[in-house]
Structure 1
Amino acid sequence: MKLLLTDSGITNGSIQDALVDLLGKPIDESSALCIPTAGYGAPDADPGGPWRFISGRSRNPMIDLGWESVGVLELTALPSIDTARWVSWVQEADVLLVNGGDALYLNHWMRKSGLVELLPSLPDTVYVGLSAGSMVMTPRIGQDFVGWKPPTGGDSTLGLVDFSIFPHLDHPACPDNTTAAAERWAAEIAGPAYAIDEQTAIKVAGGTVEVVSEGHWKLFNPAS
Structure 2
Amino acid sequence: MRDVGRWVMRRVRLYRPDGNALRRRTDRIESFVVLVCGLLFTGSLALAFATGGALYRAGVAAERSGHWVAARVLRDAPAPRTSVDSVRAELRTPVSWTDVRGRTMIAEAPVFLGTRAGSTVRVWLDAKGRPGGTRPDRAMTVARAMAGATGTVTVTGGLLLGCFALVRRSLDRRRYAAWDVAWLAAGKPRGANPETT
After TM superposition, the score normalised by the length of structure 1 is 0.17
After TM superposition, the score normalised by the length of structure 2 is 0.18
Bigger Rg, which one: 2
Q: Which has the higher strand share?
A: 1
Q: Which has the higher helix share?
A: 2
